[in-house]
Amino acid sequence: MNWSNNKLVLLLQTCCADFLLTRQLLNRVSQLDAWSYFDGVAISLDGDLEIAEVEECFLPVIPFTRDRIEIRRSKNVDSWTSNNVETALEVYKWACSFGNDVLKIDSDIFIANQNFFLTVTTKRTGISGRLMPFFIESYLCGESLHFIQGGVVVFGNSGREFILNLTIEEVNHYRNHVWNYISIGDQYKRPDYIKYFTDVEDVVLLGIMPRLNNLEMENINRIQVSPYDLISDFKTAKINPESLAMLYKGTGSFAYHYEGSQWGMREYMRKCLKWIYTNSNKFDL
């Protein structure tokens, strides 16, 4: 692999359902004239996609030679459903093995403007992104639990080293003894929340394990905003795609996270994301 190692690797993860949104994300990078920030692209596919169809669809919109584009395919179609922590760790290890710092962008992210790239390409060391507290009162070894929100994550030099050295055995040791490390405000609600502390990859791999290994986690101001930041009862709110886009814009954030699967709103949020891709030229972002 003949990469210069002084720019970022763009890490994308996609599946059949997000296939076209990932292509739109790549087109958005082109629209913002941002390919100069990257040395290469690493694309991880779910088992429901074939490498050949991804090459046919994605390669024409990536202005790199084929030797600067790496593609891997998961063995199992349901790997993210059944083993999401293990699958995420495998993907992160793969991307971090190339020798470049890594920028992970999920397919449900809309990049608002060039400020996004100017911010994420600032040299960083550990794992960076939006550092946020867990949504209920919770503590890791006596300190308030924070984690890097998925969607946009930067793995700097020490962050890559941490990922490459982290073993699934170490992760499983924590998960098998979770309540030796985690405490929550209402101990009687442990059964309601244990899945978040053991099976949500952002919390485990981008929060708990870095903290247990004394890795620096850096907050990047305004790097992304989510719907629950804007609307307290987002699941029941009646809001159209344009109104949501205006709320996102009003925050001054550099990327809009159209996440919604945890509320059973994945399809609606995809609709909203497609709307802003179609109408972004109407907004001064």
* Mean pLDDT computed over every residue of the chain: 91
Provide the residue ranges of all domains of the chain, joining segments of one domain with +: 1-121, 126-147+159-219, 225-285
- Of 75-84, 104-113, 198-207, the one with minimum mean pLDDT is 75-84
Average pLDDT over residues 73-80: 66
Predicted confidence (pLDDT) at residue 2 exceeds the cutoff of 60: no
**Is the distance from CB of 245 to CB of 156 less than 8 angstroms?**
no
Tens digits of residue pLDDT in 101-139 = 999 999 999 999 999 999 999 888 999 999 999 988 999
DSSP states of the chain: ----SSSEEEEEEE-TTTHHHHHHHHHHHHHTT-GGGEEEEEEEE-TTS-HHHHHHHHGGGS-S-GGGEEEEE-S-TTHHHH-HHHHHHHHHHHHHTTSS-EEEE-TTEEE-STHHHHHHTS---SEEEEEEE-SSSEEETTEE-EEEEEEEEEE-HHHHHHHHH--HHHHHHHHHTHHHHEEES-GGGHHHHHHHHHH-HHHIIIIIHHHHTT--EEE-TTS-B-GGGT-TTTTT----HHHHHHHHHHTT-SEEE---GGGT-HHHHHHHHHHHHHHGGGS--
Q: 80 pLDDT exceeds 70?
A: no
Average pLDDT, integer, range 30-34: 96
The pLDDT of 135-164, averaged and rounded, is 95
Higher pLDDT, 271 or 6: 271
pLDDT for 260 equals 79
Flag the least confident range among 107-116, 150-159, 199-208, 252-261: 252-261
pLDDT at 233: 74
Which pTM was predicted? 0.94
With CA atoms as reference, report the closest residue to 184 among 171, 167, 203: 203
User: What integer pLDDT is reported at residue 68 of this predicted model?
Assistant: 94
Q: Order of strands, edge to edge, in the sheet holding 143-144?
A: 143-144, 138-140, 182-184
> What's the alpha-carbon Rg for the chain, to the nearest Å?
18
Q: What is the per-residue burial (b if ≥16 Cβ within 10 Å, else e) of 242-255?
A: eebbebbbeeebbb
On the question of pLDDT at 280 being above 60, the answer is yes
Share of the chain above pLDDT 90, in %: 75
Q: Which CATH number, 3.90.870.10, 3.30.70.330, 3.90.550.10, 3.40.50.170, labels domain 1-121? A: 3.90.550.10
Lowest mean pLDDT among 54-68, 109-123, 260-274: 260-274
Of the pLDDT bands very low, low, confident and very high (cuts 50, 70, 90), residue 155 is very high
pLDDT (mean) for 196-224: 96
Interior angle at CA 95, CA 92 and CA 96, nearest 5: 80
According to the model, what pLDDT value does residue 228 have? Answer: 86
Instruction: Of 7-21, 29-43, 81-95, 131-145, give the lowest mean pLDDT range.
Output: 81-95
- State the Cα angle at 201 between 10 and 163, rounded to 5°: 60
